């Protein structure tokens, strides 16, 4: 259940990033519109440019965090909420058990042949 809440939290974070990208585009549009006027409102330009820069930096930081998380998940490094490592260990243990059964079967056949 915790895995689903972590996944939902990650999706919400991506949705927030998407909304912020929309705000970035809106700020850029406002700046371009203001620059196209003959007499520009410098205070508005400064505010919009500052908001644009801050938003871009925030989105960049958030996306970097998301990429780091996805890199950890993809490479099997331990991370919060992951069961990949445990599943991989279990799969490897099952393969070792199958291999041991195969070898024991070979030994048993060899012993039977020697006794005949």
DSSP string, 14-72: HHHHHHHHHHHHHHHHHHHHHHTSSS--HHHHHHHHHHHHHHHHHHHHHHHHHHHHHHH
- Residue 33: the pLDDT is 87
Residue of 17, 52, 15 lying closest to 31 (CA atoms): 52
Taking the whole predicted model, whether its pTM rises above 0.75 is answered as no
* CATH class of the domain at 1-77: mainly alpha
What is the C-alpha to C-alpha distance for residues 70 and 13, in angstroms, rounded to an integer? 13
Q: What is the pLDDT of residues 21-70, one digit of tens each?
A: 998 898 888 888 888 888 888 888 888 888 888 999 999 999 998 888 88
5-19 CB burial, b ≥16 within 10 A, e <16: eeeeebeeeeeebee
What is the C-alpha to C-alpha distance for residues 18 and 39, in angstroms, rounded to an integer? 33
């Amino acid at each position: 259940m915790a895995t689903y809440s972590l996944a939902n939290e990650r999706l919400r974070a991506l949705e927030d990033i998407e909304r912020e990208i929309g705000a970035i585009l809106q700020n850029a549009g406002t700046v371009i519109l203001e620059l196209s006027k003959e007499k520009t409102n410098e205070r508005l330009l400064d505010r919009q440019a500052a908001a644009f820069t801050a938003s871009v930096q925030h989105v960049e930081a958030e996306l970097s965090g998301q990429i780091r998380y996805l890199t950890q998940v993809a490479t099997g490094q331990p991370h919060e909420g992951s069961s990949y490592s445990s599943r991989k260990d279990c799969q490897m243990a099952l393969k070792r058990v199958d291999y041991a059964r195969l070898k024991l079967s070979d030994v048993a056949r060899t012993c039977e042949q020697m006794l005949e």
